[in-house]
Amino acid sequence: MAEGLLSRPVQPDCDALIACIRREGTPSRVHSIELYLDAEVQDALCGRFGLADGLRTDDPFFEEKRHTALMRFLGYDCVRCKAEGLEFPVHRSSVADSAPLARAAGRSFVDEKRGPITSWEEFESYPWPDPAKISTRSLEWYEKNLPDGMCVTTGGMGHFCEYLIWLMGYETLCYALVDQRDLVAAISERLVEFYRKAMTVLLGFPRLKLIWTSDDMGFRTGTLISPDDLRAFVLPGHRMLAGLVRQSGRPLMLHSCGNLREIMEDLIEDVRIDAKHSFEDTILSVEDAKELYGARIAVLGGIDVDFLCRADEPQVRQRVRRTLERCMPGGGYCLGTGNTVTNYMPLDNYLALLDEGRRFTA
């Protein structure tokens, strides 16, 4: 697999990637994209291919240099950079991780019953993060040091639905949508104002050419809260971010898990996203999504994570070829997993996905 990747080097071209996302015609090659790679996957790949050889671990920008080397080696046109200071404190617990590339600290889960804000008193005393204090240290390094042809995409932005759930607790939020809607609205407004200010800061970096917001709004058969409540408390925030991004001349990509059928028209016509990410075969395959929505937005990734965990390499290669044959014409498709590159996914299956993308010719 290493020889396959190395024998077909890819010259990064973020302008061609953006043209593909904007559906400006069939691209000359496959562009790959991922929301992120689990840290354990990055460690394993860097160790396997010696990508950090020669880098000093005491270098204050060791992680940025290693990440750039990794994404360049894997053939991506962009690196993901999350500004520091975008997190809101929530209640979490951890359990041991039994994945093949297990994380030492275990897996973290948010309390689904009760979060830190369940009353007006807790709302007033909550330690709201200050958007003026976010750190752009890594972005500043990437701005000056990324290789030619590469750009930055951001992470950690736009969790309007998720933070309503995480700050209140899913169970508490469901009750509050009936009897404390003013509190739900107040939290939503704080989130909108925070992300408005944070996004304004981030858009000041020219090499941040792709904006990737992330907000899981659904589960397998529907949305996590009603479509009308999403329209009231969640989609206005996404519409605000999309407007800022559109004014800057950049495309906006949305990652959201779950069955969003009932709000897809809102996302396309009202929020006006440029691309949708996160596809699961048991909900809507990326091939079918391209057929349904591909004339209006790009669809990203979609090689189902469960499939990638269970399949063998020939099956992975066959699936990738079939997906590319259906989704590449006209542009508006980038190759990748249906969600993220997880630490429980066989590493060789992920590499086979990338390698088959390099082999593909339209």
* pLDDT tens track for 221-262: 999 999 999 999 999 999 999 999 999 999 999 999 999 999
pLDDT for res 7: 62
Q: Find the angle CA(153)-CA(158)-CA(163) to the nearest 5 degrees.
A: 135
In percent, the amount of the chain with pLDDT more than 70 equals 98
* pLDDT tens track for 31-77: 999 999 999 999 999 999 999 999 999 999 999 999 999 999 999 99
Rounded Cα–Cα distance for residues 142 and 145 (Å): 5
* pLDDT tens track for 166-190: 999 999 999 999 999 999 999 999 9
Tell whether domain 2-359 is in CATH 3.20.20.210. yes
Split at pLDDT 50, 70, 90, the class of 112 is: confident
Cα atoms in the 13 Å half-sphere on the side-chain side of 120? 6
Q: Comparing C-alpha atoms, which of 209, 254, 249 is closest to residue 78?
A: 209
Rounded Cα–Cα distance for residues 16 and 149 (Å): 9
Report whether 286 contacts 301 (CB < 8 A).
yes
Q: Phi and psi (nearest 5°) for 299?
A: -120, 140
* pLDDT tens track for 155-168: 889 999 999 999 99
* pLDDT tens track for 259-303: 999 999 999 999 999 999 999 999 999 999 999 999 999 999 999
- The predicted model gives 21-33 an average pLDDT of 97
Average pLDDT, the chain: 96
pLDDT for res 94: 86
